[in-house]
Amino acid sequence: MSNLSSGAYYIPEPSSWPVVGSVALCLSFVGAAIMLNGSGLGTFILGVGMAAVIYMFYSWFRDVIDESLAGRYNQQVDISFRWGMGWFILSEVMFFAAFFGALYYARIYSIPWLGGEGDGAATNEFLWSGFEAIWPLLSTPDMVIDAAQTKYTQIKAVIPAWGIPALNTAILLSSGATVTFAHWDLKKGNRTGLCWWLAATVALGFIFVGFQAYEYVHAYQDLGLTLNSGIYGSTFFILTGFHGFHVTMGATMLLVILLRSMAGHFTKHNHFAFEGVAWYWHFVDVVWLGLFIFVYWL
Amino acid sequence: MLGKTVKRCCVAVSSPILFLFSSLAHAEYGLNMTKGVTPLSREVYDLHMLIFYICCTIAVAVFGIMFWSIYHHRKSKGARPAQFHHSTRLEILWTAIPIFILVIMAVPATRTLINMEATGDADMTIKVTGYQWKWEYEYIDEGFSFFSALDAESNEIRQLKSGLDPNEMEHYLLDVDKPLVVPVGTKIRFLTTAADVIHAWWVPDLGWKRDSIPGFINESWALIEEEGTYRGQCAELCGRDHAFMPIVVKAVSEDDYFDWVGEMMVAAADANAGADREWAMAELMEKGEQVYATFCQACHQANGQGIPGAFATLVGSPITVGPIEGHIDIVLNGKAGTAMAAFGSQLNDVELAAVVTYERNAWGNDVGDLVQPATIAGMR
Amino acid sequence: MSETASQADHHDDHDHKPTGIRRWLFSTNHKDIGTMYLVFALIMFFIGGAMAMVIRAELFQPGLQFVDPQFFNSMTTMHALVMIFGAVMPAGVGLANWMIPMMIGAPDMALPRMNNMSFWILPFAFAMLLATLFMEGGAPAGGWTMYPPLVSQLGDGFPFLIFTVHFLGISSIMGAINIIATVFNMRAPGMGFMQLPLFVWTWIITAFLLIVSLPVLAGAVTMLLTDKYFGTSFFVAAGGGDPVMFQHIFWFFGHPEVYILILPAFGIVSQILPTFARKPLFGYVSMVYATAAIAFLSLFVWAHHMFTVGMPLAGELFFMYATMSIAVPTGVKIFNWMATMWRGSMTFETPMLFAVAFVFLFALGGFSGLMLGITPADFQYHDTYFVVAHFHYVLVTGAVFALMAASYFWLPKWTGHMYDEKLGKLHFWISVISVNVLFFPQHFLGLAGMPRRIPDYNIQFAEWNMISSLGGFVFGLSQLIFVWVVIKCVRGGEKATDKVWEGAEGLEWTLPSPPPFHSFTTPPQVGMATARS
Ligand code: HEA
Ligand code: HEA
Ligand code: CUA
Ligand SMILES: [Cu+2]
C-alpha cells in the first residue's frame, strides 16, 4: 500500500520477521549461554532458537523474492541491496582480521618474548627459562617448566601445506571460476549452462568442507593438534573453523540460488541475489588464500 | 564519625567557592601531581606541568575569543550576521600552529620516555609479583622473598558497615603488614609480574606505574633520593579487593638496609624450620589462624562463611569436612577459573599444614583430624 | 513540495499508518523506529545513571557504607556498558533514523526491515545483560574493557556478557550498513556529497568506523569465550598467548568506538551553531575532511590506552605521536565552529546553549585527553580519576550534551509543538553547573593519586569525592527536568512552524512539523539554492 502512496520510491509493508528474528537470535544466545553454564535445558533452548532463526530467514527471503518477482523493486532498491551486501562483506573481512591479528601477534610478539627475544629477556629468564620460540609451536611454555603439570596437549606434527590444503586451495579457486562462468551464462541467458556451472560450484564447495572435516579428524586423532594444544591449535582452529563455517554458509546460499535458477528465477539484467552470493563466495575464497599462506604455508 | 561528616559536608559545599576565589594551592586537598623523590618522577612532573600550562594558554586564548564573540555578536545587541563562510588562509594557519605546538610537547616527552625505559646497569633487582590481593617482593640478588598485604587495622575498618571510622586512621588503606624496604641512592630495577590476573604496581612518588601481567615480566627502574615512606596502590582492576592491596616502600640509608637484609635472611632460614617434625594440634591451630588471616580471610572472611555467590563458605563445606586429600589438593593447586589460587607456590609445608588443620577445626567444623607438614610434602 | 506541505494537517489518514502495537513491532518507518531508538536510549540513560548514583553514593565518604566491593565493580562495569551501548549509541542511531532521510530528501531508510531488526535487537540484548545482575556470581565486574584473565573469573554471567556483545554488534553493524546505503543511494536528485548537511557526513564516517571496528570486538570476545570453555590459549602465556593481546584487539575497537560516540555529536553541533548564529557554517569542506581525518587516525592510536603494559619503546613512541596528531583535525573543527559564531547574530535558545557548552567543555576534555596521550605522563595518570574526569568531559559534556542539544533542536520538528523554553533553560543551567562540580574535582583526585575502579579510599581523597558526589546527585536529578520537558512537548504546546528556527537551513525544515509519515513522497529537486560551498 505505502509503496503506492510513495510514488517513485518503494517502501516495504510492515513486516513481522525482524522482531521474530530478534526473538529467535535472543533464544539462541540465551540457550547457548545456559548450555555453557552446564545445563541441558540450554541445549534445548538453543535448538528451538536456531530453528526459529532458520524459519525467520526462510520467510524473510521468501517475502523479498516474492516482491522481487512481482516486479515491485525498482533500480534504486537493487542498488541499496548491493551497497548492503558490499558493506556486510567488509564487516566479515574485519571479523577475520581480528583472528589474523591474533595469529600475527602470537608469532611476532608473544612467542618470541616468551622465548627471551627482544623485551622478553627477563620474562624468559625468570618465568619460562628453557622455553624456545619456534613456529609452529609444538610444545607450550608450561610444558618446558613441568611437562606433567601442563594444561595443554603436545602436538606431534602439524598439517603440511602441500597436502590436502593445497588441494583445497585448487578446489576453492576453481569454484571461484565456475561461479563466474555461471554468471556469464546467466547474462547470456543460457539457463542450462547457468545451472550446471552453479551445480559444479556447490559441489566443489561441499567437497572442500568434506576435506576440511577429514583433516580435523586426522588432526585430533593422529596429530594431537587440538583446540587446546596451545596457541598454534587455537589460531589454527579458530581461523580454519570460522572459514569452514563461512564456506558452508556460502555453499548453502549457492544451493538456494541453484534451486531458484532451476525454478526460472533471475533475468539477464535483474539477478542481484545471484551476484550477492557470488561476491560472498569470492570473499571466502580470498580469506582462504590468506589462511593457506599464513596458517599452513609460512 | 557524624560530626566529621557534617564538617566535611560544609567543607564540601564551601570549597568550590574557596576553590574559585582563593589560590589553587589547597595543599591538604592534594590538587596536583606529586613531584616525587626520584629523577624520573621529577622529569615527569615537569613534563606534566609543561603540557598543562600549554593547554591552559591555548584554552584561554581560544575561549577568550569565543566568549568575546558570544558577548558581542548577539542579536539582542543588534549584531547583523556576516555571510563569509571560508578562508583557506585561516584553515592553513590553524592547522599549522597546533602542529608546531605539538612538536614542542613531543620533544621533552620523547626524552623522558627514553630515560624511563633505560633499565640497564641497575645496582639491585626486585621482582614484584601481584596476587589477588597482595604483593610478593623477591630480592633476586639476596635470595629471599615475602608477601605484603593490607594491614589488619585497615582491613577491619574497611569491612562493609564495619561502623568503624576511617577518619581515625591516617594511612587508612595505605598501610601494609610488611613494607618493601629499599636503600636510597641506589638504582633499583623492578621486575613486575603477576600470579593470577593483571595488577599494576604504582607508587606515585617513584614517578610511574607498571602493569604486572601473568606470564610476562615488565622492567622499570627507580633511584630514590630521600629517605622516607612512600605509599601507593594497585592500579589495575584485579577483582573484588582491587582497592585493598596497597604498596608501602620504606627508603632507608644503605646501612639500615643491610641490617634489615640480615634479619630477613635469618627469618627466611627458620621459616621452614620444623617441617620435618610432628606438630601438635594446638600449635597448628595457632599458626594456622595467622596464615588464614593473611592469605584466606580476604575472600572466605574471618568467620569462614565466604560471600554467597562470590566466595565459597568453608563452614561445613564438602571440602573442609570431606576427605582430607581433596582439601589439601585444592589449597595446594587452586581451582581453575575461579579466584581460588594455588597456594602451593606461596606457602611452605608448615604453613599449609597449619592452615588446612585450622580450616578443618575452626568455626565448628571440628573434623578433629590434623595435617602434618610431611603429608603436605608428600602431596606436592 | 508545496503539495507535501498541504498534506500536513491531514497527512495521518492519508498515510494509512498501521495502528496499535503492530505499528511499533512491525514498523518499516524511519520515524517510528527513530522514536523507539530515542525512547530506549533515554530509559537506558536513566538505568546507567542510576548505577552511577550507586557508585557516587558509595564514594560519598570513605569506608564501605552501602555495597560490597564486588557489586561496586559490577556497577562500574554495567554503568559503562549501559551508557555506551545502551544510551549514547542508540540515541545517535535514533537521530540518524529520524533526520537523515529528511535531510537528504528520501522517503525512508534504504533497508527499512533491517532497520527495524537493528532496533528490536537492543531490548533483548539488554534484557540478557541486565539479567546477569541476578545470576550466580553476579553481573560482569571486570570493567567494561573485559580484560582477561580477570573477566573469566565471572560466574554464570560470563557467557551472557559475551553473547550480549555479539548481539549488540549485529545490531550496530546492520544499523551502520543501513545508514551508508541510505546516504549513498537515496539522496534527492541534484544533492551531491558536498551538499550533504554535516550531520549526515559525520554519520557516514561513523557508520564506516562501526563496520570496521565492531566485528573486531566480536572476534575479541569470541576468543575470550573459547579460552574459557574450549581450552584455547589466546590470552594465556602458559600456552604461548598473551593477556595483553586481548587489550590490543579490544582497543583496536575501543578507540574508534569513542569517536563513534562523538562524531555524530560533532555533526549535531555543526547543524546547530550556524542556525543560531544565522550564518553559514564556516569551512564546510575542511570540516568534512577533518572528520574523515579524525576517523582515519583513530584506527592507529589504540595503544594509548595501554601505555603501561610494557610495550617496546618504538611502539610507545609511535602511539604517542599518533595520538597527539588527532588534536590537529579536532582543533580544526573547534576553530571552524568559533569562526561560524564569529560576527554572527546569535541568540541563545536551549539547543544553542547546549551546543556552546559542548564546544567549551568537550575541548576541555580534549585537552586532558592530549595530556593522557603523552606517554611518560600517562605512566602517572593511567587508571586514576584523571582519566575518569577526561572521558566524562568528552562523553557527558561532550556526547550527551550534544544529544540534549539535538533533542531540543529537533523536538518541535518531531512533535509539531514548541518545547517549554523556560524549563529547557533551567535544565541547561542546573546541568552545566552541577556536571562541572561532578567531574572537575575528579581531575584533582586523579592527580593526587586516587586510582579508578575502587569503592573505598584514604581520607586524603574525602573532600573532593564528596563534592563530586553532591554534583552527581544534582546533575542526576536535573535530568528529570529534561524528561518533563519532553513529555510536556509531546503532549502539546504552542504550534511549531515548518521552519521552527529563524536561521534554520536544509530540506528537513521544508517539511511540515510534524512531518508526514513518509518524509518525501516524491523526490524533491535540490537546486543549487541549498548548496553549501
Ligand atoms: C567521546 C569519547 C572520547 C573522545 C572524543 C576522546 C578524545 C581523546 N582521548 Fe580519550 N578516552 C575516552 C573517550 C574519549 N576520548 C574514554 C571512554 C577513555 C577511557 C577508556 C577506559 O579506560 O575505560 C579514554 C581514555 C583516553 C586515554 C587513555 C588514558 C589511560 O587510560 O591512561 C588517552 C591517552 O592518550 C586518551 C586520549 C584522547 C585524545 C588525545 C583525544 C583527542 O581526540 C582530543 C582532541 C581534542 C583536543 C586536543 C581539544 C581541542 C583542540 C584544540 C583547541 C586545538 C589546539 C590544541 C592543541 C594543539 C593541544 N583518552
Ligand atoms: C556515555 C557514557 C557515560 C555517561 C553518560 C556517564 C555518566 C556518568 N558517569 Fe560514568 N563511566 C563511563 C561512561 C559514562 N558515564 C565509562 C565508560 C566508565 C568506565 C567504566 C569502567 O571503569 O569500566 C565510567 C565510570 C564512571 C565512574 C568511575 C567508576 C569507577 O572507576 O569505579 C564514575 C564515578 O563517579 C562515573 C560517574 C558517572 C556519573 C555520575 C554520570 C552521570 O552523568 C549520570 C547522570 C545520569 C543520571 C543520574 C540518570 C538520570 C537520573 C535518575 C536515574 C534519577 C535518579 C537520580 C538520583 C537519585 C540522584 N562513571
Ligand atoms: Cu591488584 Cu588491582
Ligand atoms: Cu582512545
pLDDT tens track for B206-220: 999 999 999 999 999
Give the distance (Å) from ligand 2 centre to CA of residue C78: 10
Q: Is the pLDDT of residue B20 over 70?
A: no
Chain B partners within 8 Å of C282 (Cβ): 84-86
Q: Is the pLDDT of residue B3 over 70?
A: no
Contact between C304 and C320 under an 8 Å Cβ cutoff? The reply is yes
**Residue B234, phi-psi category: left (phi > 0), alpha (psi -120 to 50), beta (remainder):** beta
Which residues of chain C are under the pLDDT cut of 70? 1-17, 525-533
pLDDT tens track for A30-57: 999 999 998 889 999 999 999 999 999 9
> Looking at residue B119, what is its pLDDT?
87
Reported as a pLDDT band with limits 50, 70 and 90, residue B253 is very high
Q: What is the pLDDT along chain A (298 residues), one digit of tens a residue?
A: 333 334 456 778 888 899 999 999 999 999 999 999 988 899 999 999 999 999 999 999 998 888 888 877 888 888 889 999 999 999 999 999 999 999 999 999 999 999 999 889 999 999 998 899 998 999 899 988 888 888 899 999 899 889 899 999 999 999 999 999 999 999 988 999 999 999 999 999 999 999 999 999 999 999 989 999 999 999 999 999 999 999 999 999 999 999 999 998 888 888 889 999 999 999 999 999 999 999 999 8
Cβ-based neighbour number of residue A268 at 10 Å: 9
* Calpha distance A97→A103 (Å, rounded): 10
Chain A's closest residue to C231, CA to CA, is: A228
Chain C partners within 8 Å of B242 (Cβ): 69, 73, 453-454
- Amino acid type, C531: A
Q: Does residue B118 belong to the interface with chain C, where contact is any CB pair within 8 Å? A: no
Partner residue facing C232 (CB), from A7, A113, A234: A234
pLDDT tens track for B77-113: 887 888 888 888 999 999 999 999 999 999 999 999 9
| Among C83, C85, C150, residue to substitute to test ligand 2 (most atoms within 8 Å of Cβ) | C83
Contact between C108 and C59 under an 8 Å Cβ cutoff? The reply is no
Residues 6 or more apart whose CB falls under 8 angstroms from that of A174 comprise A204
B250 - beta bridge partners?
Answer: B181, B229
Contact between A22 and C124 under an 8 Å Cβ cutoff? The reply is yes
CB contact under 8 A, B217 and A114: no
Q: Where are the alpha helices (DSSP H) in C278-343?
A: 284-297, 313-325, 327-341
**Residue B131, phi-psi category: left (phi > 0), alpha (psi -120 to 50), beta (remainder):** beta
If contacts are CB pairs under 8 Å, which of residues 101-130 in chain A contact chain B? 113-114, 119-120, 122-123, 126-128
* Calpha distance C494→C476 (Å, rounded): 28
User: Whose C-alpha lies nearest to ligand 1, atom 9?
Assistant: C369
CB contact under 8 A, A123 and B216: yes
φ/ψ (deg, to 5) at C458: -70, 155
Give the distance (Å) from ligand 3 centre to CA of residue B159: 18
* Calpha distance C486→C473 (Å, rounded): 21
Mutate which: A105, A111, A123, vs B, most B CBs within 10 A: A123
CB contact under 8 A, C282 and B86: yes
> Looking at residue A2, what is its pLDDT?
34
Chain C partners within 8 Å of B29 (Cβ): 444, 448, 463-464
> Looking at residue A169, what is its pLDDT?
95
Beta strand B124-131 with B187-194: parallel, antiparallel or unpaired? parallel
C-alpha cell at C520: 518525501
pLDDT tens track for A80-117: 899 999 999 999 999 999 999 999 999 999 999 999 99
State chain B's mean pLDDT as an integer: 86
Higher pLDDT, B165 or C8: B165
> Looking at residue A164, what is its pLDDT?
92
For residue A122, the distance in angstroms to the closest alpha carbon of chain B comes to: 6
Q: Is the pLDDT of residue B54 over 50?
A: yes
B180 - beta bridge partners?
Answer: B249
Residue keyed to cell 577445626: B361
pLDDT tens track for B362-372: 888 888 888 88
Q: In angstroms, how far apart are the furthest CA atoms of chain B?
A: 97
Segment holding B187, helix H or strand E:
strand B187-194
Chain B partners within 8 Å of C449 (Cβ): 30, 34, 204, 232-233
Chain B partners within 8 Å of C155 (Cβ): 309
How far from the centroid of its chain's Cα atoms is residue B4's Cα? 27
Chains adjacent to B (≥3 CB pairs closer than 8 angstroms): A, C
pTM above 0.90, yes or no: yes
> Looking at residue B289, what is its pLDDT?
86
> Looking at residue B165, what is its pLDDT?
87
Report which of B330, B324, B326, B376 is spatially closest to residue B350, judged by C-alpha positions.
Answer: B376
pLDDT tens track for B291-327: 888 788 878 888 888 877 678 888 888 888 888 888 8
CA C468 to ligand 2: nearest atom: 35
Prediction ipTM score: 0.91
> Looking at residue C16, what is its pLDDT?
61
Q: Is the pLDDT of residue B18 over 60?
A: no
pLDDT tens track for C87-138: 999 999 999 999 999 999 888 898 999 999 999 999 999 999 999 999 988 8
Q: Is C453 in the pocket of ligand 2 (CB under 6 A)?
A: yes
> Looking at residue B309, what is its pLDDT?
67
- Evaluated on CA atoms A103, A104, A105, A107, the torsion sign reads positive
Residues 6 or more apart whose CB falls under 8 angstroms from that of B88 comprise none
Q: Does residue A46 belong to the interface with chain C, where contact is any CB pair within 8 Å? A: no
* Calpha distance C315→C321 (Å, rounded): 10
Segment holding B231, helix H or strand E:
strand B228-234
Q: Is the pLDDT of residue B23 over 60?
A: no
Q: Any idea which residues of C carry the catalytic annotation?
A: 79, 108, 144, 171-172, 255, 257, 259, 270, 304-305, 330, 333, 452
> Looking at residue B272, what is its pLDDT?
67
Q: Does residue C383 belong to the interface with chain B, where contact is any CB pair within 8 Å? A: yes
Mutate which: A111, A119, A151, vs B, most B CBs within 10 A: A119
